[in-house]
């Protein structure tokens, strides 16, 4: 059996005013606003974030991409490195230290 794993991020908003459901192959980080979602997307889609995660992923593992791996990247440090410091980034940083990304499913 071939395994295909992708490190891919997208913004998922409501459809017809209702939340969308993801399957158990997705990780979900809830955002309070569109601005916050766009800030998070910019952070996790950055070259620095991808380089970090790529260096930490063991593709031969049974499940190479885990919540633990995704949460190991400090949004605070990443935001500082990228020069992003606005209220939505500060809100995300505060929540990461509390609830972190949540596995759906």
Question: Which DSSP symbol is given to 41?
Answer: H
Q: Summarize pLDDT for 23-82 with one digit per residue, the tens.
A: 877 888 888 889 999 999 999 999 999 999 989 888 888 888 888 888 899 999 999 999
pLDDT digits (tens, 9 = 90+) for 80-105: 999 988 888 888 888 887 654 433 33
Q: Domain coordinates of the chain in residue numbers?
A: 27-103
- The token pair that represents 51 in the structure block: 């380089």
Task: Report d(CA 105, CA 26) in Å as an integer.
Answer: 8
Distance, CA of 46 to CA of 49 (rounded, Å): 5
Residue 82 pLDDT: 93
Single pTM value for the model: 0.77
Q: Please give the pLDDT value at position 3.
A: 52
């Amino acid at each position: 059996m071939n395994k295909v794993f992708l490190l891919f991020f997208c913004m998922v908003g409501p459809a017809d005013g209702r939340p969308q459901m993801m399957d158990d192959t997705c990780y979900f980080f809830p955002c309070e606003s569109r601005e916050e979602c766009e800030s998070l997307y910019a952070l996790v889609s950055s070259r620095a974030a991808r380089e970090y995660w790529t260096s930490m992923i063991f593709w031969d593992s049974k499940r190479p991409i885990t919540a633990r791996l995704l949460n190991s990247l400090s949004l605070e440090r990443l935001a500082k490195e990228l020069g992003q410091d606005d209220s939505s980034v500060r809100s995300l940083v505060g929540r990461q230290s509390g609830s972190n990304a949540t596995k759906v499913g």
